[in-house]
Amino acid sequence: MSEAAVVPTAAAIEARLRETLTPTVLEVLDESAAHAGHAGANGLGYGTHFRVRIGGPAFAGRSRVAQHRLVYDALQKFTDAGLHALAIEIKS
């Protein structure tokens, strides 16, 4: 099975963000079950809708758009694998 065929998990997303952005604050929540039946839901109840609360030096001095872009870029492989919705909260 290719990496792109694997359903994203909160643990995998957290590991990727820790590896690429070295955050000092990080919480990843899979909120997919709350979106069952919505657009982008995969019928499994997990792996499509996530909330990320993140903060650290990589975000300092950047605009909100640039901060979010850091997260989106780090998680591109998960978007390719079915991550449909991502709520990002930047913590200072």
Q: Break the chain into its structural domains and give their ranges.
A: 3-90
pLDDT computed for residue 80 by the predictor: 86
- Sheet with 25-30, strands from edge to edge, namely 25-30, 49-55, 85-90
Given a contact cutoff of 8 angstroms between Cβ atoms, the answer to whether 13 and 57 are in contact is: no
Which CATH architecture is the domain 3-90 placed in? 2-Layer Sandwich (3.30)
Rounded CA gap, 57 and 5, in Å?
A: 33
Q: If you count them, how many residues does the chain have?
A: 92
Residue that wins the pLDDT comparison between 79 and 40: 79
pLDDT at residue 3 tops 50: no
pLDDT computed for residue 52 by the predictor: 97
> pTM score, two decimals?
0.81
pLDDT computed for residue 37 by the predictor: 56
Residue ranges of E strands in 1-92: 25-30, 49-55, 85-90
Given a contact cutoff of 8 angstroms between Cβ atoms, the answer to whether 28 and 37 are in contact is: no
pLDDT at residue 56 tops 70: yes
Question: What confidence tens digit (pLDDT) does each residue in 7-35 have?
Answer: 789 999 999 999 999 999 999 999 886 65
Mean of the per-residue pLDDT values for the chain?
Answer: 84
